[in-house]
Structure 1
């Protein structure tokens, strides 16, 4: 069959293709509608695509299908082909027998038979053109399949459920074989951590939401998020680090608050001091810390004041922690956590009292932040107040 090149196609400004208009329009409703039912030879026809999925590579795959009537669809190209087929409207309306969209749809139905590595390859390709892959539905299917497999792994390999990545709620047996069994079980639940390091923060956010919807243990999810942050931040730029931190904070906020340790949260706080975090992410981090205020230490709270202020420590930050703590559980905090926080605040007030730049209103706010019932004795608080007045005089 003679092939002419009567149509010029500019793909995303990357490359220009000379193609046979009749052949390519016979498979694409988008182009057939563009050219209408015009007949005869029209010279100097040109089409410009600005957002073709996968750019020149994607268009070349489409051409291969159009000229051959078929193409091998694999996990490594299905995301690109499916998105391109939707973009070009290569459906039954264009070709009853050979339409790329239907072929990719049938291939996607086989996703449950893909290997783990094939699934990761498909996800990586979705990541390269995220918005289009998401709207085409390929990404959603890949994420659902991945989360489903992780859920099965979690169910078939029950591990010691931890209340936080740093502490275990399980009492380990003195039997070394039992301890080793628990370690191996936990490892079987975390084997996938390194594999998902290839994902961008946006994909990690979507994967996390899929895992939550599958009821995967929140302690495992939080452990993965902390692992991702530690692994990806070392080689990232400042902007990339900020994006990673924001993503991890936002995702941790969606989990059970007991699934991440207070120590880890304060670690994020220290890291975030050098970044311009979004107001939303910073507020979520402060809220999570406030929720676990009874587990904090004095050193945790001694955060330097923001740049441009005179006082030594960031008292406003601690006041926000206290507000979040009081509000947890709808203003019904049990007595023991309340007493722990009261003791901590007595120590904190004594530490900040000697600061000559600390305003009386701020010190008073610290003293009045907790109800009187939180303290069995007011002696330590009065001692801190005495220290503060000594500085004033």
Structure 2
């Protein structure tokens, strides 16, 4: 028998005389020729389904153990209904029995091998029988080619259980897994692009549209029936392929057969049953635990859980998915979460909300147990889960059937210590109050029980004060927080003025090179000294415009500015007096200008005795200019405050 290579088979099958329409005519010619050569009549009738073959007894019994037993006492044999390959395969086997070369290709080799095994065409009855020849073709031709192996494996689906018992399926699966591992390893460096992994999808919300880019070998694998696919995945793992390459194949398969729009639109009962079977198998194939967070996006688990709720998957599988999502909940995004269908009347009582509530409660319980053992406060993961849950509440809050008590139960699923920022909680409460405008003030107070205005931003706090839907208690709290922020802003302003005054003066006294004023366009150090004061002045104007301060508060600030001005005047007099003392000391003594006698003299003659024991060698001209500029600046600030209050401030003493 001739064995054609797979490349030659595709062309020869279409034009060969052994193609399906001509096999029957060729077999008749062989039977007539055999009768003429041997002189033996046609005496055997073999029925395969609805087709009858008139053949000779000797060729059949010499190569088939099955036919030899059946034709021992009879001249008519009917093969069973499940005969592998049907009448077409038997015709090709009959040609081989009569000594004609049979054209073998990947499309018929599996059927021929199963039929030959059924007819017991082994070496026990004839040397070089059909079974051994077909095994040789499978091993040396089919299993060495990716495409041929895929073809044979797909054909084996129609030949079960024969193809399974003959290990054709197993050999094809192991061969595909080995070639896939070699494709990943790429020993000859033929790949132009890296193998697809899911690292880039870990930080994105899941969508079935973002996994379009796949290698050709991956597309071939996800086209397999699920029974064969899951065995390929098992073989890939046994042969050592890393999980970051195996998991994308599972995700792509589930995306095609479970999560895509085409698969979700099928309502046929058989398709639904098949979908449930695939869904159950995918859950069993997926990695679970901490290692899954590095290779599979949490949004994919949410998508599977959503399909599980639709198809009523058994509770063990749903619990497995929920447990996995709970451990990865801090990686999720709002778009990943289970949301009831739009238009649902009672979202708060839907299975999606109940499932989300259960997973959040499980996360809180697990985190509490972990923190109690480790004795540590809530970490950033808990803050992320709280913000995620509050954002989810904004989605379900518009449910008109949700009462305040139920909404409070949902809020309490996350402990108050988990909420570092209350802005998302404020949004959820505001949405709920808009949907339920007729609830009482007591119910509003109950809903806003856990809302802390101190954890709101300045803009959100102002919005809460102006929000008519909020209860009176919350508005008062927001006003109080706003007043605290006002005092804090004034305190920072006052402290910063004091820092600018003391820091600049001390800096001028500690460096002889600082000649220019800190308010001129000098070097970077000078500009750095002038920056805090200018920024605080801008901040002061902004604060006044935003908060509408009272007259008493501004008068207090103006009074502090006048005190600063008086201190500067005293300092200026001290500097002028010290300058006179230093000049006299230089005239009377020709010794070191900074000697002990000079310092003691300056101390005795200086009635303010502050920082005068070591300033005899400084440049007082620059200090006077500096103090004069500070005085002018504070005068402008004082005049600005007096115009603001429409009051006339006292004129500071002239220098």
Fold conserved between structures, TM > 0.5: yes
Structure 2 CA distance, aligned partners of 1:244 and 1:353? 33
Distance 1:161 1:337, change over 3 A: farther
Which of 386, 409, 413 does residue 342 from structure 1 map onto? 386
Query: What 5-or-longer segments of structure 2 have no aligned partner?
Result: 1-33, 36-40, 204-212, 372-377, 434-441, 448-655
> Counterparts in 2 of 1:101-120, with a 5 A limit?
101-110=131-140, 114-120=144-150
Structure 1 CA distance, aligned partners of 2:230 and 2:339? 29
Give the 3-state SS of the residue equivalent to 2:149 in structure 1. Answer: helix
For CA contacts below 8 A with separation 6 or more, give which structure has more relative contact order. Answer: 1
Structure 1 CA distance, aligned partners of 2:242 and 2:410? 37
Do the aligned partners of 1:85 and 1:100 also contact (CA within 8 Å) in 2? yes
Structure 2 CA distance, aligned partners of 1:346 and 1:62? 71
Q: Specify the alignment match of 1:175 in structure 2.
A: none
Structure 2 CA distance, aligned partners of 1:241 and 1:135? 30
Give the 3-state SS of the residue equivalent to 1:56 in structure 2. Answer: helix
Deviation at residue 89 of structure 1 after TM alignment: 2.7
- Counting helix residues as a fraction of each chain, which structure ranks higher? 2
Distance 1:378 1:205, change over 3 A: same
Q: Specify the alignment match of 1:55 in structure 2.
A: 86
Deviation at residue 144 of structure 1 after TM alignment: 0.6
Which of 232, 257, 263 does residue 207 from structure 1 map onto? 232
Q: Specify the alignment match of 2:158 in structure 1.
A: 128
Give the 3-state SS of the residue equivalent to 1:17 in structure 2. Answer: strand
Is the counterpart of residue 390 in structure 1 residue 443 in structure 2? yes
Deviation at residue 151 of structure 1 after TM alignment: 0.3
Distance 1:30 1:352, change over 3 A: same
> Counterparts in 2 of 1:75-86, with a 5 A limit?
75-86=106-117
Q: Specify the alignment match of 1:264 in structure 2.
A: 300
TM-score (norm: length of structure 1): 0.71
Deviation at residue 142 of structure 1 after TM alignment: 0.8
Structure 1 CA distance, aligned partners of 2:395 and 2:380? 23
> Counterparts in 2 of 1:187-198, with a 5 A limit?
190-196=215-221, 198=223
Structure 2 CA distance, aligned partners of 1:272 and 1:355? 24
Deviation at residue 304 of structure 1 after TM alignment: 1.0
* Aligned-CA RMSD value: 4.5
Structure 2 CA distance, aligned partners of 1:362 and 1:202? 45
Q: Specify the alignment match of 1:218 in structure 2.
A: 243
Deviation at residue 219 of structure 1 after TM alignment: 3.2
Is the counterpart of residue 8 in structure 1 residue 46 in structure 2? yes
> Counterparts in 2 of 1:226-375, with a 5 A limit?
226-228=251-253, 238-239=267-268, 240=271, 243=274, 247=278, 250-251=281-282, 253-256=284-287, 257-258=292-293, 259-268=295-304, 276=311, 278-279=313-314, 285-304=321-340, 310-312=346-348, 313=350, 314-322=352-360, 335-349=379-393, 351-353=395-397, 355=399, 357-358=401-402, 366=410, 372=415, 375=418
Deviation at residue 141 of structure 1 after TM alignment: 0.5
Do the aligned partners of 2:302 and 2:338 also contact (CA within 8 Å) in 1? no
Deviation at residue 347 of structure 1 after TM alignment: 3.3
Do the aligned partners of 2:163 and 2:169 also contact (CA within 8 Å) in 1? yes
> Counterparts in 2 of 1:132-211, with a 5 A limit?
132-156=162-186, 159=194, 162-164=197-199, 166-167=201-202, 190-196=215-221, 198-211=223-236
Q: Deviations over 1:252-300 (max 9, x none)?
A: 6524323221233444556667x63643765555454444322222343
Give the 3-state SS of the residue equivalent to 1:9 in structure 2. Answer: strand
Query: What 5-or-longer segments of structure 1 have no aligned partner?
Result: 169-186
Q: Deviations over 1:153-173 (max 9, x none)?
A: 1112694784545259xxxxx
Do the aligned partners of 1:85 and 1:101 also contact (CA within 8 Å) in 2? yes
Question: Which shows bigger deviation, 136-145 or 258-267?
Answer: 258-267
Question: Which shows bigger deviation, 233-242 or 378-387?
Answer: 378-387
Question: Which shows bigger deviation, 228-237 or 206-215?
Answer: 228-237
Structure 2 CA distance, aligned partners of 1:365 and 1:63? 77
Distance 1:104 1:327, change over 3 A: farther
Do the aligned partners of 2:114 and 2:159 also contact (CA within 8 Å) in 1? no
Do the aligned partners of 1:10 and 1:47 also contact (CA within 8 Å) in 2? yes
Deviation at residue 364 of structure 1 after TM alignment: 7.4
Structure 1 CA distance, aligned partners of 2:129 and 2:365? 58
Deviation at residue 197 of structure 1 after TM alignment: 5.4
Give the 3-state SS of the residue equivalent to 1:90 in structure 2. Answer: coil
Give the 3-state SS of the residue equivalent to 2:48 in structure 1. Answer: strand
Give the 3-state SS of the residue equivalent to 1:47 in structure 2. Answer: strand
Q: Which has the larger radius of gyration?
A: 2
Structure 2 CA distance, aligned partners of 1:18 and 1:341? 77
Give the 3-state SS of the residue equivalent to 2:285 in structure 1. Answer: coil
Do the aligned partners of 1:134 and 1:140 also contact (CA within 8 Å) in 2? yes
Distance 1:320 1:134, change over 3 A: farther
Do the aligned partners of 1:315 and 1:362 also contact (CA within 8 Å) in 2? no
Structure 1 CA distance, aligned partners of 2:297 and 2:411? 27
Do the aligned partners of 2:178 and 2:239 also contact (CA within 8 Å) in 1? yes
Structure 2 CA distance, aligned partners of 1:103 and 1:27? 13
Do the aligned partners of 1:338 and 1:374 also contact (CA within 8 Å) in 2? no
Structure 1 CA distance, aligned partners of 2:338 and 2:143? 54
Do the aligned partners of 2:84 and 2:111 also contact (CA within 8 Å) in 1? yes
Give the 3-state SS of the residue equivalent to 2:201 in structure 1. Answer: coil
Distance 1:48 1:225, change over 3 A: same
Q: Deviations over 1:30-71 (max 9, x none)?
A: 333445xx35xx35x241412122222332232232222764
